[in-house]
Amino acid sequence: MLSKFMTSEKATLRIGDTVYELPVIIGSEGEKALDIRALRAQTGLITFDSGYMNTGSCASDITFLDGEKGILSYRGYSIEDLAEHCSFVEVAYLLVHGSLPTLTEQENFSEMLGRSALLHEDMVHFFDSYPSKSPPMAILSSMVNGLCSFYPEMLLNPLENLDMMTARLVSKVRTIAAFSYKKSMGHPLVYPRHDLSYCANFLNMMFNSPVAPYEINEDVVAALNKLLILHGDHEQNCSTSTVRLVGSARVNLYASISAGISALWGPLHGGANQAVMDMLEAIQREGGNYKKYIDKAKDPADPFRLVGFGHRVYKNHDPRARIIKEACDKVLASLRIADPLLDIAKELEEVALKDDYFVERHLYPNVDFYSGIIYRAIGIPANMFTVMFALGRLPGWIAHWKEMWDDPNGRIGRPRQLYVGPKARPFVPIEERVAGK
């Protein structure tokens, strides 16, 4: 993949009196990278880049992200166009296959999703073994890993069977997520229906009840569809990098996705929207005094930060936030929600968009801020927020695993380190040792 992006341009590195030339690679959107693959062999040195903020671990044709300009695209299509015109199923197909589906391809893919929606009944019994308060992400991770035991034929030639594996994962993870919620509530399971769209099916499995039939609200379905699309992929984030790193050892897709789910579970990654709700609840407990928290966020001596504002990558508006804010406003209006937490959130948003402190630092509300508000409005509890994130991110994980697996130049991931421990020291027999030495 890289050969056509190699250029004649070189960067020079001087170490003492020796000068080394480093090839420059230019991506399809103009990004430049120094090729340091031969650096250690030529110089004996490695690079040190904590957090990998300046390190490109792979070449990928799945997602383009420009944090300075606020641009996000999947396979060349802008996130704005995809969110406006596509279903989540279409975008899932795009991410995995590289092109938007034709009508026939979408019908075939949707049929595969429908046939794959049910869980093996032996797997359904697994839910009975989890304590009622088990974290949904723990259940999701272990259940996805367990899929390889029920579908071992998928392990023989993964790329040949990728369509079926993709359909099984995208469909069954939705069912696992809904079942885990129902089990945590002590409610009877609601099985998937063949006559509902992907998002409507999920909502029905979550909220339908023998005593209170769930009524499908198209504004809610549309908002959920947008949320899943916006979370579909986001370049080499922590969970996606985890899927690729684990998969580089030739681990099967199910286990690789399970590892990605575990990485997403972290509060610094997929748990941000849940943290937004925790912050809003804390403000509510103090009488809704959001101005106090605005002042705390602006105080350089105070470690407090407003959760859901700003982004590590985007130095401008998060393009996903603009899209989901419109959906958020529409859902709240459609449901006529009266929720003090949502009122506090809207007040925080209004202040941040006008306050010079936040504007100058580009600390705008991000996608995590709005997604938590929507999930709460439609009845999804906070402990399910990260599960929803995983449901949306799943096609991106599959696409990256496929790309990594299919790369003829791929190698097992093996970062280096800079050792800073003790130098070589003599061994001391146990009877002569002094504590701490």
Which residues form the catalytic set? 311, 368
Q: Residue 161: what are its φ and ψ, rounded to 5°?
A: -105, 20
Give, in order, the Cα–Cα distances in Å from 47 to each of 2, 54, 80, 214, 414: 21, 10, 37, 56, 14
Token output for 250? 């030739």
Token output for 232? 């579909």
Q: In sequence order, what are the residues at sequence separation of 6 or more whose Cβ sits closer than 8 angstroms to the Cβ of residue 130?
A: 138, 139, 183
For 109-172, the DSSP string reads: HHHHHHHT-SPPHHHHGGGGGS-TT--HHHHHHHHHHHHHHH-GGGGTSTTTTHHHHHHHHHHH
Contact 269, 238 (CB under 8 A): yes
Contact 252, 148 (CB under 8 A): yes
Cα 256 from Cα 246, distance rounded (Å): 6
Contact 397, 347 (CB under 8 A): no
**Nearest Cα to Cα of residue 404 among 206, 264, 257, 301:** 257
Give, in order, the Cα–Cα distances in Å from 120 to each of 13, 147, 193, 260: 58, 9, 16, 23
